[in-house]
Structure 1
Amino acid sequence: MNRSHPQAFMAGNPVQQVTLSSLEHYAYCPRQAGLILLEDGYADDAATVRGTLMHQRVHEPGHETRGAIRTLRALPVWHDELGLVGVCDAVEIYHSGRIVPIEHKSGAYVPEGPADIQVAGQAMCLEAMFRRPVPQGVIYSGADRRRHTVTIDATLRRRVTDLAESVRRILIAMALPAAPADQRCRRCSMRDMCMPRVLARAQAFAKAASTLFTPQPEAAWDD
């Protein structure tokens, strides 16, 4: 395992590091990711509090061995070449050499959803660190109390690298993405901070304002 201090390099040049959690946020909503990354914005609701409580239980660093499986908890991971960095909730290491990252989520599992991106990024980091293939990850759903296996295929890996570049562009440009103002906003704890409905109609407001306040030609005076 490579235990050198994580430094992100691409083609020999340092690159802006991207957290694995930001990939999940961006996959759900680019503006949400921007608010968290650029403005340190965050707001809790019932769902996020449940998630925080769950992660408090699994984020205690440590390890245990049961039978042929060693479990590492709160394991820092990184990928130098891709500029990725994060923490795995848990990593199972089997006597056979098999490595499986486990990501805990309080809500229901959504196939091909943002959580898949996060666990795929963890798998790619583990591959770089342990020099072994990690073809699968697991999402543990607190809502249904079961594990969901995620296949880390070429398509999912490409989504990770593409999203990492998108997040990196936000960090470099220091500009918030536009508000989507769609069904995602109803479930977002940050909607009051984001004001998606107001911002989505900003162009319409500007057009209306320009109509109201455009100077009109003076009327000709009759002698």
Structure 2
Amino acid sequence: MIEYNDEDLLMLSGIQHISFCERQWALIHIEQQWAENQLTVEGNWMHRNVDSPQYISRDKESIILRSVTLVSRQLGLYGISDAIEMTPSLSNQNYMIHPRYPGKWLLTPIEYKRGKPKKDPIDEVQLCAQGMCLEEMYRISIDKGFLYYGETRHREKINFTNELRNFVKEQSTRMHLLYKQGKTPSPDYKARCKSCSLLDICMPKMFAKTTKVNTYLSELYQL
């Protein structure tokens, strides 16, 4: 099994970008380009308290930690979690010990998203990647996580199925391949492009028109 060195680790958040669009991922993580739109601003506003490591909530049954550092050398990813929910473990197996909170704890990652649940798995893949990082870090198994959506104000349980785990592995491998090549994929204009904050940087419609013109000229002059 391949294990990545520290200098080869890529940002875990990028797995959501590449699942949405490979070109978007490359523009952000290879070309270091970024732009805000209403959706990204709303997302940042929603995370204003979630991302504070000092913001810890506790009740009789659970403790929620914020901004926990995550890393997986098998996936080659590193990042910061939105929240990790710790609940008491009733088993002598599959638990972790926290230096500040006595006892045995089960871990469940929670990711906060604006909007509502999506038809595609781009949110689920990021959450599952966080769970896989925790499994590797603490040598435990995690079978689920939760996505909390700002529009519905409801937690959606996401089971970490073998299919979802394999998708995480495929996308992380793809990220490393593209990063090693250092090439940004060509744009492919689709309806989802309208919601992308990098639309004006990517310019998929203009690229499509240019490609058609070049193809026409090549065929006309047999270039």
Decide: shared fold, TM above 0.5.
yes
Give the Å deviation of 1:56. Answer: 1.9
How do 1:1-223 residues align onto structure 2 when only pairs under 5 Å count? 11=2, 14=5, 16-62=8-54, 63-96=56-89, 97-210=105-218, 214=221
Q: Which amino acid aligns with 1:69?
A: S
* CA–CA separation in structure 2 for the residues paired with 1:56 and 1:66: 22
Structure 2 spans left out of the alignment, 5+ residues: 90-104
- The one-letter code of the counterpart of 1:74 is S
- Which 4+ residue blocks in structure 1 deviate beyond 6 angstroms? none
Aligned length: 205
Look up the equivalent residue of 1:131 and give its one-letter code. R
Report % sequence identity: 30
How big is the shift at 1:206? Answer: 1.0
Deviations 1:96-155 (A, max 9, x none): 232110000011111542010000000000111122111001100001111001000110
More strand by share: 1
AA paired with 1:136? K
Letter in 2 for 1:27: S
Higher Cα radius of gyration:
1
RMSD in angstroms over aligned alpha carbons?
1.9
Structure 2 CA distance, aligned partners of 1:84 and 1:132?
A: 18
Q: Equivalent residue of 2:176, what SS?
A: helix
TM-score (ref. length: structure 2): 0.86
1:88 positional shift: 0.6
How far apart in 2 are the matches of 1:117 and 1:187? 19
1:201 alignment partner, SS class: helix
| Distance of 1:206 and 1:191 partners within structure 2 | 22
Query: For each residue in 1:7-66, what CA deviation from the matched residue of structure 2 results, as whole angstroms up to 9, or x when unmatched?
Result: xxx546638312221000000111100100111111111111000111122100133321
TM-score (norm 1): 0.86
